[in-house]
Structure 1
Amino acid sequence: MSNATLPDTQGKRPSSLRGATLPKWFPWAVAAGSIVLGLGISAAAGLESDIQWGLIAAVLFVLGSYGIAAKVEGRRQAKDRVATSLVWVAFILAVLPLASLIWETVKRGVKVLDGYFLTHSMGIVGDTEPGGGIYHAILGTLEQVGLATLIAVPIGVLTAIYLVEYGRGRLAKAVTFFVDVMTGIPSIVAGLFVLSLWIITLGMGYSGFAGSMALTILMLPVVVRSTEEMLKLVPNELREASLALGVPKWRTILKVVLPTSIGGITTGVMLAVARIAGETAPVLLLVWVTPLINANPFSDPQASLPVYIYLQYANSGGEGAAYDRAWAAALVLILFIMILNMAARGLARWKAPKTGR
């Protein structure tokens, strides 16, 4: 039969094979009702926390979706709606802290965030005095992260190429094992390693380069793993076609494999940069601090945004000019990382393979 109805042999009107279905606005209505009931229960019980009434509303939303859907659409469809409701609740619970953090940072950070703040250092300004800026911290972060990127990216990409294209036997297994171990190394451990080797043993002193070496240790496994996965996604047919034409393997990797996966590799590198840009512990151990501009990362202490935020907040007592500067610097750091993530996603979409219709 081509239609969705069955003829009635007794002359009655045809009945539909499809059961009752709730309207599309049903989840929104249940969500609104759950919020109202959650607020009412919270007010009646004397609960003052927004988290408490939010959790009550979430439970009511899931139970209400199941109860109404079970009566109208049946238990099978009701279970599907419960699963969808749980996904939405989990999504909201994950997004709310992030949204709250961004809102609070923007609200407090815009008080002193202006051109002067971005183009001046602390100089001789005291922690409790108004004025000053984060130019020296921005310069230090850019130089330290840039040096770490220059060191980590070539080593990481070449390591990934070896593991995917050449890696066989014990050496490849050992490299894979150490990459996995490095993935779980805490940042403070990386900082202590460089501190003991570079500063205490070799006596090289505090510098931005010392911090860059610790950031390199944290960045390397991310670059290796992301590059390795991107290289594995390149079809073997492309490699075989190039090799069948008599092209050497090294040239196949250089001219075929890498251009095909360059978008994913670059995205992984930018995400790794965003990963290390907010590290505080190794930078505080190895770079130390200075209120002045130091454009030479290979000599003397150098400022950075994470350490600047920590020190300004620690010396503020929860109020005053230093407190506002800490929030403004945190806002700049968040914007920097957000720009990197957006650029990575845009680049991945731009370099993604185009499929014809």
Structure 2
Amino acid sequence: MSTTTTVPAQARPQGRPLTANRLPKWAPAAVAAGSIALGCGIGAVGGLDSRLQWGLISVVLFVAIGYGLSAKVEGRRQAKDRLATSVVWVAFILAVVPLVALTVYTIQQGIGVVDGYFLSHSMKGVLASGPGGGIYHALIGTLQQVALATLMAAPVGLLTAVYLVEYGRGRLAKVVTFFVDVMTGVPSIVAGLFILSLWNLALGFNYSGFSGSLALAILMMPVVVRSTEEMLKLVPNELREASYALGVPKWKTILRIVLPTAMGGITTGVMLAVARITGETAPVMMLVFGADYINGNPFDGPQQSLPMYIWQQYSVVNNDFGYARAWGAALVLIAFVMGLNLIARGIARWRSPKAGH
């Protein structure tokens, strides 16, 4: 006959927290404020002229003081966690501050120039060393060149990614993957030299916006392949297997099931690739040249673009009026790229799978 002994609840060992003490929630902010004040004080007393040096001293103090305070109050285990968190925050700030500073400075320099006249007029008949002029011809050229590059690169990149994910097996797939990786790191000047040698010199075509589009397509293609490939890999295999079980051919499964499922990510990747090539300057300088007038035909004659326009106004014109026009064009270019990124994010959110569907 067995007996069961019941231990009273009061006699059971209570769980012990890993650390007895915790820093208040406002402690990191207080440490950051104190570190900044102390870093600025050290920089001022030490005679350091660079504000960057003051910031670096503040960063080191923030990490060190945060770790020491946490180790004393919370223990070493929690201190290591706070140290990792502090390093992550510091890295985030170091990445964001230059971007914000660049954007703010560009807005300050270019907002006074950008208006209706600046967006609707070209530089034809305008004295380069004087006021006036606009970016309409450069804006038209950029839109046409990027559109042509997208029409060439997006279908090829999409089909290449479909082959690698759905059909690619063996040596050929490895070779294609290798060359896609190599093309991802090809400098833009190399792509421009290749098109210059093949299209303009060997085949005898004139300099035009289309020549620049060919080089931009080369730069855009591997980005489209990589982004599309990753999106296709995210499509669950259960969808493919269910389609095959119903007797649907593979090509129709890809067309009706796989591609629509991944279309949001594919569109986002294409838009980001477009944003990547919009600011390229080297291929345009080599293949398109520049024009002060409006050239609506990208297949004949030199054509202007926003990156080329910025370079010409800042380096060639080299006066206050040229600097102002360059900063205005840079602001428009940043706004254009930012708009493409926002469109890509909107499409990704719109096409993302919804809960319950």
Is the contact between residue 20 and residue 73 of structure 1 (CA under 8 Å) also seen in structure 2? yes
In 1: Cα distance, 2:342 partner to 2:248 partner? 37
* Cα distance, 1:46 vs structure 2: 1.4
In 1: Cα distance, 2:59 partner to 2:72 partner? 20
In 2: Cα distance, 1:28 partner to 1:177 partner? 48
Does residue 356 in structure 1 map to residue 347 in structure 2? no
Mark the CA change 1:148 to 1:15 in structure 2 (over 3 Å): closer, same or farther.
closer
Letter in 1 for 2:330: A
Letter in 2 for 1:257: V
C-alpha offsets along residues 285-339 of structure 1, whole Å, 9 cap, x if unaligned?
Answer: 000000000000000000000000011000243x411100000100100111111
* Cα distance, 1:7 vs structure 2: 7.3
* Cα distance, 1:260 vs structure 2: 0.4
Percent sequence identity is 68
For the residue of structure 1 that corresponds to 2:149, the secondary structure is helix
Letter in 2 for 1:279: E
Letter in 1 for 2:334: I
Letter in 2 for 1:23: P
* Cα distance, 1:169 vs structure 2: 2.3
Does residue 329 in structure 1 map to residue 306 in structure 2? no
For the residue of structure 2 that corresponds to 1:289, the secondary structure is coil
1:273 corresponds in structure 2 to 274
Is the contact between residue 277 and residue 337 of structure 1 (CA under 8 Å) also seen in structure 2? yes
Mark the CA change 1:15 to 1:149 in structure 2 (over 3 Å): closer, same or farther.
closer
Is the contact between residue 112 and residue 325 of structure 1 (CA under 8 Å) also seen in structure 2? yes
* Cα distance, 1:255 vs structure 2: 0.5
Letter in 1 for 2:148: L
Question: 1:177-188 residue pairs with structure 2 within 5 A?
Answer: 177-188=178-189
For the residue of structure 2 that corresponds to 1:347, the secondary structure is helix
Shifted more, 346-355 versus 280-289: the winner is 346-355
Mark the CA change 1:7 to 1:108 in structure 2 (over 3 Å): closer, same or farther.
farther
1:300 corresponds in structure 2 to 301
Unaligned 5+ segments in structure 2 are: 1-8
Unaligned 5+ segments in structure 1 are: none
1:96 corresponds in structure 2 to 97
In 2: Cα distance, 1:6 partner to 1:322 partner? 83
For the residue of structure 2 that corresponds to 1:217, the secondary structure is helix
* Cα distance, 1:195 vs structure 2: 0.2
Mark the CA change 1:175 to 1:16 in structure 2 (over 3 Å): closer, same or farther.
closer
For the residue of structure 2 that corresponds to 1:61, the secondary structure is helix
2:341 corresponds in structure 1 to 341
Does residue 109 in structure 1 map to residue 110 in structure 2? yes
Count of aligned pairs between the two proteins = 348
2:50 corresponds in structure 1 to 49
2:6 corresponds in structure 1 to none
* Cα distance, 1:84 vs structure 2: 0.7
In 1: Cα distance, 2:172 partner to 2:72 partner? 62
In 2: Cα distance, 1:163 partner to 1:60 partner? 50
* Cα distance, 1:171 vs structure 2: 2.1
2:71 corresponds in structure 1 to 70
In 1: Cα distance, 2:66 partner to 2:174 partner? 51
- The TM-score normalised by the length of structure 2 is 0.94
In 2: Cα distance, 1:349 partner to 1:132 partner? 40
For the residue of structure 1 that corresponds to 2:48, the secondary structure is coil
- The TM-score normalised by the length of structure 1 is 0.94
In 1: Cα distance, 2:273 partner to 2:10 partner? 60
Mark the CA change 1:171 to 1:259 in structure 2 (over 3 Å): closer, same or farther.
same
In 2: Cα distance, 1:101 partner to 1:28 partner? 26
Does residue 221 in structure 1 map to residue 206 in structure 2? no
C-alpha offsets along residues 123-151 of structure 1, whole Å, 9 cap, x if unaligned?
Answer: 11122110000000000000000000001
Is the contact between residue 69 and residue 75 of structure 1 (CA under 8 Å) also seen in structure 2? yes
In 2: Cα distance, 1:101 partner to 1:75 partner? 39
Letter in 2 for 1:291: D
* Cα distance, 1:188 vs structure 2: 0.2
Mark the CA change 1:8 to 1:233 in structure 2 (over 3 Å): closer, same or farther.
closer
Shifted more, 343-352 versus 280-289: the winner is 343-352
Letter in 1 for 2:346: G
Letter in 1 for 2:20: G
1:255 corresponds in structure 2 to 256
Letter in 2 for 1:67: G
* Cα distance, 1:98 vs structure 2: 0.7
Question: What is the root-mean-square deviation of aligned Cα atoms in Å?
Answer: 1.8
